[in-house]
Amino acid sequence: DLFYEIIKQLYAIQLFELQEHFLKKYKDSSNEWKNKQFKFDFISQESTLLINLFGALVITAILIFSILFSSTINTGNILSLILYTGSMFMVISDVFENISVFSNMNTAIGRINTLLKETNNNFLSKEVINNYDITIENLTFSYKDTRIFNGVSFSIPFGSKVAIIGKNGSGKSTLLKLLCGIYKNYSGSIKIGGKDIKDVNLSNIYSISFQDSYIFNDTVRNNITLWEKNSGELYSYDDLDKGLDTIVINGGQNLSGGQRQRICLNRMFLKNAKVYLIDEYENNLDNITKDFITKNILNLSGTVIISSHDSQILSKVDYIYDLDNKILRKV
């Protein structure tokens, strides 16, 4: 489960700067795995030896029995018995041979370990900037052979509050993911502070809340604080049996859409970021919670780029862009 989580959430691990946490967690898990492997290898070797020995003894006994009592057991019966006995031992041997999965997992462990270290080094080596104006020039992007953007250009001054509107499927969520570097196979340029985002450590700049939430298999509290002990104010989660100490399973499958949304929004607000990217936050929220979140969003300092159709937000932002037919137009 941990290996799958790391691969699935790799970009979130990078963006939230959780490489060290998952390296430690991964190291502990891999050490436990190696200890189990040693025990299974020992059992496998000993068991295979015993099975082969037992098989040889049984077949020998059958042959001796057939010689002594050849008048009652014919050759066909003996051959059939030997064949069935051999098949049985082959099945048992196959079970133990499957323990070789552990050796394959060793390879996977090494690859994931290297991957986490490489992503950590890549982020540490990237530039730190002091200017946070965002400039997009001639952005063209396709997803699964479908053109999403065609030559989009616009700029967002630092400190602005910007709303992106458009029909469902027009590419609003995709645009936010491009801005924070999740998708990289685009043409044109996306710059922040005059630097290409591919060359900038974005984890120090962005705080995000997306529809396809990044939820880790841990407590609700740790999902919000990202394992930081001295974090800010946390929302109440009285609708969960154990509140903030509720264990999240399989990326949040045991939570409702609204609960997952609140976790991601709470996490986003805790970070003192320069740029906030928020994707349709009002989905799955009741009106009271939505109004509370809206007020907090409008009070954020720094740049806020939000995909929303909420009238309360649209009436308060500095700029509105309409995404339609692969083109972004200022309203």
Query: pLDDT, tens digit, for every residue of 34-63?
Result: 555 555 555 555 566 566 656 656 665 665
**Are 201 and 270 spatial neighbours (Cβ–Cβ below 8 Å)?**
no
7 pLDDT more than 90: no
Q: What is the Cα–Cα distance from 244 to 35, expressed in whole angstroms? A: 33
Q: What is the Cα–Cα distance from 252 to 214, expressed in whole angstroms? A: 9
**Are 329 and 166 spatial neighbours (Cβ–Cβ below 8 Å)?**
no
Cα angle 152, 156, 159; round to 5: 160
Q: How far is CA 16 from CA 19, 112, 205, 225, in A?
A: 8, 18, 10, 11
Provide the pLDDT for residue 295: 92
Cα angle 203, 273, 326; round to 5: 75
Provide the pLDDT for residue 302: 94
Q: What is the Cα–Cα distance from 82 to 88, expressed in whole angstroms? A: 10
Please report, for the chain, the start and end positions of each structural domain, with discontinuous segments joined by +. Answer: 2-125, 134-330
* 221 or 24, which is more confident: 221
Provide the pLDDT for residue 299: 93
Query: What is the token pair recorded at 295?
Result: 């007020």
Q: How confident is the model at residue 212 (pLDDT cuts 50, 70, 90)?
A: confident
- Among 223-232, 252-261, 317-326, the least confident range: 223-232
CATH number at 134-330: 3.40.50.300
pTM over 0.75: no
Cβ burial, residue 311 (10 Å; 0-12/13-18/19+): exposed
State pLDDT tens for residues 243-265: 999 999 988 889 998 899 999 99
Query: What is the token pair recorded at 48?
Result: 């295979």
State pLDDT tens for residues 95-152: 555 555 555 555 555 666 665 565 555 555 567 788 999 999 999 999 888 899 999 9
- Per the prediction, the chain carries an average pLDDT of 79
80 pLDDT more than 60: no
Provide the pLDDT for residue 325: 85
Cβ burial, residue 30 (10 Å; 0-12/13-18/19+): buried
Element (H, E) at 85: helix 75-97
73 pLDDT more than 60: no
304 pLDDT more than 70: yes
Provide the pLDDT for residue 213: 73
Q: What is the Cα–Cα distance from 59 to 187, expressed in whole angstroms? A: 70
Share of the chain above pLDDT 70, in %: 66
Query: What is the token pair recorded at 17?
Result: 């700067």
State pLDDT tens for residues 153-206: 999 999 999 999 998 888 999 999 999 888 889 999 999 999 999 888 888 899
CB under 8 Å to 213, separation ≥6 — which residues?
A: 252, 260, 261, 263, 264
Pairing outcome for strands 327-330 and 319-324: antiparallel
85 pLDDT more than 80: no
Q: What is the Cα–Cα distance from 289 to 310, expressed in whole angstroms? A: 13
Share of the chain above pLDDT 90, in %: 33
Provide the pLDDT for residue 153: 94
